[in-house]
Structure 1
């Protein structure tokens, strides 16, 4: 079978891989679509994501959907063969203090598809066939097509970030960064009842996608005279992954407000307006991955056809490098999918 393997910075290869065989408790899935994530782009460009650095070749991808082909044992439980499914990419350990506390998304010994956070790395889902624990399969709700379902993983990230912010119903939410995750944060905030969502970004094309996702106001981040800048916001979600975005959130959130850091900042130290956190009693919260939000994301995707507009391109697997280049160009794309059926 073919798979998409990263060997180092700039070294992405579509290669022949052995077809995996499921073991006890595992399922074999024929992957149809895989979404190119910002973390995949970081592995491609820099050979790592934050502090997670490549030490061996790794199959990328954790945003995958497809069809169940079979199970590793006849008594395995899971969706019937032939069922269209989304794959939850996390396998938490279930025994660490974080898992015991109901925070499995920050499990200290988790396995996550396509992640170099541990060694040997956890191979990802950008392959024609993938084996995963059967309990990580989620059958798609009625009427949800695989193409739109490929947004389930990033939408789960956005839902978790909004929940980390607390109650947003009736509030003004500021989102810095209108990449795919930022746009999905907009949709998640509106679904949670936010009264006003303002989004900032440097690129007009990205801001157009944010508007399509439901943003009430969009602002050019490099234009201090833009009339869309709010005097203050109740909640701010930093989704750009740059220190300037966090600075904007801390300066524009109200006193006693909440800032959620969702974007992964560059490795090492970043400038940080810590005095504002003190003098304004701002609550700064991290948001990492997700857990049960995956099921909620599928239901939200099934209910809202407008999410289709965030999928800007579907590219055959054999053209993976051009797909990554397109996904990295936010002036031309939002969410780019790899198509494994072609």
Structure 2
């Protein structure tokens, strides 16, 4: 079978891999679509994500949907032929965080396509994937696999919005209009936000944000843009740059909430900490997700607006061109790899 494997910085290959067999409690899934994530791009461009560095070849990908092919011994789950989305996390279930209901920050989790541990956890960009049946979610009636491939990043956005608290009737500022930032817009509107303002440097990215419900878009490099809010009730930093966090801290109201969702570069970052003190701003982190995956699938089934974020669907045989397109934010939002029909 074909798999999309990163061998090192800048060394992305489509390799022939052995077809796996499901073990006890597992399922074999024929992958149809896989979304190229920012972390996949980091492995390709830089050989790592933050402090997680490649130490061996690794199949990339954690945003995957497909069809159940077979169940292993003792597995009770969706029957073969069922279209499914794959929850990418396998929490340990026994650490203090798991016991406290915060499985998304499990200290010993396994996450598809991650170099956070060694041996690395191989990812889902392969024609066939074996996972525990507990990680399979049948697609809601009417939800096509193509749109369902957005479930993982939408789950990230939903978790960030929930970390922010009640948004009903509030004004939300989102810095960064990449795929995650745009999905934060949709998640915030679904949570009852009355107004969402989005900032980014690229007009194309801001266009995607508008397509999923942004009320106001602002060029981040234009301080005179009339769209800048006087203040926001909640700010979600989704760009992953220190300047975005600074904007959030300066524009959120006194006593407001800032959620840091974008992964900042490794090492120290400039930080307007005095604003957190003098304005009693609550700064909260948001990392991955847990049960939000089911909610994401339900939300995706509600309508076609999410389809506007899918810029291209590229055969896996052209993976490198797909990654190059996904890395060009002036031309794309979310790019999917297509592994072909079962």
Q: TM-score range by the shorter chain?
A: over 0.9
Q: Deviations over 1:232-283 (max 9, x none)?
A: 0000000000000000000000000000000000011111111111111000
- Structure 1 residue 76, shift from structure 2 partner: 1.4
- C-alpha distance in structure 2 between counterparts of 1:288 and 1:240, whole Å: 14
Matched, 1:24 2:30: no
Contact 2:260 2:285 in 1 (8 A): yes
Q: Report what 1:79 is aligned to.
A: 78
- Structure 1 residue 298, shift from structure 2 partner: 0.2
Matched, 1:7 2:10: no
Residues 133-212 of structure 1 mapped to structure 2, 5 A cutoff: 133-212=132-211
Residues 1-342 of structure 1 mapped to structure 2, 5 A cutoff: 1-73=1-73, 75-341=74-340
Could you say what secondary structure the match of 1:55 adopts? coil
- C-alpha distance in structure 1 between counterparts of 2:231 and 2:8, whole Å: 43
* Displacement over 3 Å in runs of 4+: none
Q: Deviations over 1:210-234 (max 9, x none)?
A: 0001000000000000110000000
- C-alpha distance in structure 2 between counterparts of 1:50 and 1:196, whole Å: 33
Question: What is the TM-score when the length of structure 2 is the normalising length?
Answer: 0.99
- C-alpha distance in structure 2 between counterparts of 1:273 and 1:43, whole Å: 30
Q: Deviations over 1:167-203 (max 9, x none)?
A: 0110000000000000000000000000000000000
- Structure 1 residue 53, shift from structure 2 partner: 1.0
**Number of residue equivalences:** 341
Contact 2:71 2:79 in 1 (8 A): no
- Structure 1 residue 26, shift from structure 2 partner: 0.6
- C-alpha distance in structure 1 between counterparts of 2:53 and 2:279, whole Å: 36
- Structure 1 residue 289, shift from structure 2 partner: 0.2
- C-alpha distance in structure 1 between counterparts of 2:321 and 2:120, whole Å: 25
- C-alpha distance in structure 1 between counterparts of 2:168 and 2:41, whole Å: 33
Give the unaligned 5+ runs of structure 2.
Answer: none
- Structure 1 residue 304, shift from structure 2 partner: 1.8
Question: What is the TM-score when the length of structure 1 is the normalising length?
Answer: 0.99
Could you say what secondary structure the match of 1:42 adopts? helix
- Structure 1 residue 305, shift from structure 2 partner: 1.2
- Structure 1 residue 54, shift from structure 2 partner: 0.8
Contact 2:174 2:197 in 1 (8 A): yes
- Structure 1 residue 327, shift from structure 2 partner: 0.3
Could you say what secondary structure the match of 2:322 adopts? helix
Aligned CA-pair RMSD: 0.6
- Structure 1 residue 9, shift from structure 2 partner: 1.0
- Structure 1 residue 29, shift from structure 2 partner: 0.2
Could you say what secondary structure the match of 1:210 adopts? helix
